[in-house]
Amino acid sequence: MRTRLQSAGRTRRASRTPTMSTEPDEPTVQRRVSWIWIGLAVSLPFHALLLGILSLFEVRIGVPQARAESEVEYTLLDLPPLEAAPDATIAGGEVSPEIRPVGEDRNASDPTQFGLPDPTGNERGDADAVQAGAEGLFSSGGGGGSGGLGEGSGAATTFFGVSGRGRRYGYVVDKSGSMGMQGRMQRAKEEIIRSISALPDFASACITLFDDNFTTLDHERGFLKCRDDTVTRYRKWIEQVAQGGGTNPVPAFLFLFSRPERPDVVFFMSDGEIPPDAADEILRLNRRGPNTVIHCIAFGQAAATAPLRRIASETGGTFTVATPGGTQ
């Protein structure tokens, strides 16, 4: 009995003990609300961005339309069969390639087509001279060494009545012993000074006076600009040169063609007979570079004309016979 009373007493004391509340307190609720707002703040921009991206894509769902088909009509024509075409005709006459005999080519035998001198009658024959003269006229450069002007353009002057045109002039003039006859040497000197005095100062000249060898004013440069002071120097020098010796123009031509710039035009004058191989050597020197036009003057009736004619023909120059009183 006493035990039951003690148990009942403990029960009553336990019932009177206050119980703990299951409702959350206020700070906890506030924290939960804060997390909700944070979640919404993060979620809303993200979903808005996702919707914006999806809106950029356009999806079309539907049935593909069939392409329109075009109709093409074909018509078959009943044409006669093709026949082999006859040879082409013009105004009833057959057309065929024109074949002319070599002998009918007027350019092949007409030296005037190239501005060449008259047939020379030299030992090589007229046909050979015409061919060589044409090659000289149409060789590379048409004149002097660095694209020379030849007879096409540049400054113009004359020597014993023979016209030349270019920028660089060479004078190869005989001063052998026979030039002392009939005032030939004095006449040649006067012609040289008159010729270079007519040139403008942009043109240049190289004067060589030959016998067995040659002499010139400037052995190093050769060509000098035709300014007034240069013409004066040439005049003083040439007046002191005396005639004498043999007749060999080859050393003078060798000097001219060994200059850095070749002459466009050469006036070559002789009153005698040059060595038999002189013409071959002069032409060989000329062929080493662009063609130089060589005008040849035979001074007096005693001059050997055949080699001078040949040199003139093969270089596109002219041949002239001159006398102390004038040209012929």
Domain ranges of the chain: 112-327
Q: Which of 55, 235, 265 is nearest to 172 (CA)?
A: 265
* 176 vs 323, more confident: 176
Answer CATH for 112-327 from 3.30.460.10, 3.40.50.410, 3.30.310.160, 3.40.710.10: 3.40.50.410
DSSP letter (8 states) at residue 283: H
Decide if pLDDT at 322 tops 70.
yes
DSSP letters of 23-62? SPPHHHHHHHHHHHHHHHHHHHHHHHHHHHHHHT-----S
DSSP letters of 139-169? STTSSSTTT--TTTSSEEEEETTEEEEESEE
- In this prediction the pTM is 0.56
**Can you tell me whether residue 244 is helix, strand or coil?**
coil
Question: Span 222-230, mean pLDDT?
Answer: 95
Q: Are 188 and 299 in contact (CB under 8 A)?
A: yes
Q: Are 285 and 253 in contact (CB under 8 A)?
A: yes
Cβ partners under 8 Å of residue 225, min gap 6: 201, 202, 203, 204
- Please give the Cα distance from 43 to 53 (Å, whole number): 16
Decide if pLDDT at 22 tops 60.
no
DSSP letters of 93-118? EE-------GGG-HHHH-GGGGTPPS
Structure tokens at 161: 């009545």
Helix orientation angle between 278-287 and 305-315, rounded to the nearest 10 degrees: 10
Decide if pLDDT at 108 tops 90.
no
> Which tens digits make up the pLDDT trace of 90-105?
344 443 333 333 333 3
pLDDT at position 136: 38
Confidence of residue 47 (pLDDT cuts 50, 70, 90): confident
Cβ partners under 8 Å of residue 13, min gap 6: none
Q: How many CA atoms lie within 13 A of 63 on its CB side?
A: 2
> Which tens digits make up the pLDDT trace of 163-210?
999 999 999 999 999 999 889 999 999 999 999 999 999 999 999 999
Q: How many residues does the chain have?
A: 328
Structure tokens at 15: 């019932």
Question: Span 142-157, mean pLDDT?
Answer: 55
pLDDT at position 325: 67
Average pLDDT, the chain: 73
Alpha helices, DSSP H, located in 121-243: 126-137, 184-197, 228-240
Structure tokens at 304: 């050997």
Q: Which of 317, 274, 310 is nearest to 295 (CA)?
A: 317
Question: Span 285-314, mean pLDDT?
Answer: 92
Decide if pLDDT at 313 tops 80.
yes
Buried-state track 49-69, b at ≥16 Cβ within 10 A, e below 16 = eeeeeeeeeeeeeeeeeeeee
> Which tens digits make up the pLDDT trace of 111-134?
333 333 443 333 333 333 334 333
